[in-house]
Amino acid sequence: MTERAYVVDQMISAKTIAARVEALAREIEAAFAGTDKLIVVGLLRGSFVFIADLVRELALPVEVDFLEASSYGNAMESAREVRILKDLRGEIAGRDVLVVEDIVDTGFTLSHVVTLLRNREPRRLETIALLDKPSRREVPIRATWTGFEIPDEFVVGYGIDFAQRNRNLPYIGKVRFT
């Protein structure tokens, strides 16, 4: 398969992302004030940069765990079938849990993960997504907190990839094929 040529146009700057992550951390601290430990569950792989920046901003006791769910592979469209590729290492029963997602698109992945984790009986389960594309939603779910609402564009950067490329961009950019 030949790779299509594309460019990435900046949509959300690194500075804007940093300011929003800081503001989100303050909201999460207020919501989870008094917790003995917040288990922050990052959905791999796209959330790893967001989760790293977010937990550094949180003035709460945190534990970080990861879950890898896949509905895209290397495609630009969701396959609408969510597979768990890596499960949590720790237990979440009776604990405060924050699920960190990079982008809520169709909603299939977040809905599947929330159902899976709620069945493990956490004390509290909330969600945060860096990006939200409500125009693409096929499953009625919204993150508790959202960094940015974006239009129906294919985006990369700040941990989000296209066929495993562009995760290292410090900003969110729109993919434009040439």
Convert 40-78 to b/e letters by CB count within 10 Å (16 or more is b): bbbbbbbbbbbbebbbebbebebeeebbebbbbeeeeeb
Q: Which of 105, 132, 152, 161 is catalytic?
A: 105
Q: Which two tokens stand for residue 89?
A: 């290492």
Q: In the annotation, is 36 catalytic? A: no
In 10 A of CB 35, how many CB atoms? Answer: 17
Which residues does the annotation mark as catalytic? 105
